[in-house]
Amino acid sequence: MIPWLPAGGPFPAVEEALEEPNGLLAAGGDLSPSTLLCAYRQGIFPWYDDTQPILWWSPAPRCVFRPGDLHLSRRTRRTLRRWNPEIRLDQDFAGVIDACAAPRAGQDGTWITRDMRDAYLRLHHLGHAHCVTVHDDQGLAGGIYGIHLGGVFFGESMFSRRDNGSKCALAALWALAPELGIQLLDAQVENPHLMRLGAVLMPRQEFQTALRTLITDSTPRTWPYLRSPPVIP
């Protein structure tokens, strides 16, 4: 059994999350900015679909990228250099979240519900949610969005409309991480694609220590205007 949260109610300790399904912590609550920011500071995030109540998760171990972890194959690096798209920061947040919510092959529905979309748009307007977009002569080619608190970027979702679009967005974000003050990228749940890109699995206690160390306040961040210096090594 998991606890049911009242609106604005406190979260249980992340150590109480279920082992199966991995990380399920609580249900209920709300998606207000204060609730979401409180959740992310503790390493908790919402993940559910239209048929479910709000579900809150804190899986262990945690899939993360640390400085130097991102690895692109030589073939991918060559492809991105030849492609040479334009990189933009915070230029089309709604477009990115809508692209991430679009149906994908082999998937039924989306976890980015209308309420989730509205909640993250509010966080974007408040300066807590940000995006990286990749553009070429055909338009928006890929992107990633997430929450930036202190020295941590909590990646929520990414998409590709062209081959390597999401890889390019992730590589651009990680190349710009020092300038943006990001020292840890939380990818939440492991999958083979992320592990091939260099993600590592961080034990719960180590992840929680990193959050306490890297998130000393929740001051909104203004990302600089950027139109694409070369970012692919």
pLDDT in tens, 64-105: 999 888 888 888 888 888 888 899 999 999 999 999 998 765
What dihedral angle (degrees, nearest 10) is formed by the CA atoms of 83, 89, 92, 98? 80
CATH 3.30.70.3550 fits 4-59, yes or no: yes
Average pLDDT over residues 111-124: 94
pLDDT in tens, 168-199: 999 999 889 998 999 999 999 999 989 999 99
Look at residue 230 in the predicted model and tell me its pLDDT.
Answer: 45
Architecture per CATH, domain 63-214, reads as: 3-Layer(aba) Sandwich (3.40)
Q: pTM here?
A: 0.93
Helix axes 74-83, 165-180, angle to 10 degrees: 90
Q: Scan for tokens 């990001």, then name that residue.
A: 182
Answer yes or no: are the C-beta atoms of 186 and 155 closer than 8 Å: yes
> Two tokens at 223?
């990302």
What are the sequence ranges of the domains in the chain? Answer: 4-59, 63-214
pLDDT reading at 109 higher than 60: no
Distances (CA, A) of 152 to 34, 176, 212: 18, 13, 10
pLDDT in tens, 24-63: 999 999 999 999 999 999 999 999 998 999 999 999 999 9
